[in-house]
Amino acid sequence: MRTLCIQVQPMRASNLDLKRLRTLSKELARERSLVRRFRIIQGVDGIPFLNLMFATDDVRALWQRIRSLLYKDETIGAHLRQASMTVCEGEDGWDDYLLLHHFDAKVEIDKLKVRRKREPKR
C-alpha cells in the first residue's frame, strides 16, 4: 500500500472552492476498491495548506481517477491545478517520492512506472 498526497495551497488560487474539493475527495475515498484510507490534514507551514492523503494498493488507477474527478472538474479543476502539488510514495516510501503534478508547469514531473509481475522461477 502506498500513499498519494495532494497538497493544496489555497493562497495560490483564491477562487478554489475548498468545500467542493473536500466533498469530491470524500466521494472518491468511498470508492473502497481503490482507496484504503483517507484523511485531510490542514495546517500552516509558512503558508496555509491542505493535504488530501489517499492510501491505495493501486497508485496508477487512483491517480487516473484523481485527474478525472478533481483536476478536470469544471468548477474546481483549473483552480486546483494552479494551487496544488501531487506526490506519491515511491518504492522506498517518502525517500523516493514521485512528483505527479506541480502548480508550476516548469517543474519536471515524474511518470508512474508500470511494475511488471515476475515470472515464476523454473
- pLDDT band of 117, cuts 50, 70, 90: very low
- pLDDT tens readout for residues 37-89: 999 999 999 899 999 999 999 999 999 999 999 999 999 999 999 999 999 98
Residue 27 pLDDT: 96
CATH architecture of the domain 2-102 equals 2-Layer Sandwich (3.30)
Query: What cell numbers appear for 42 in the block?
Result: 490542514
Give the strand pairing for 48-56 and 37-44. antiparallel
Whole-prediction pTM = 0.87
**DSSP code of residue 5:** E
- pLDDT tens readout for residues 15-49: 999 999 999 999 999 999 999 999 999 999 989 99
Query: What cell numbers appear for 78 in the block?
Result: 483549473
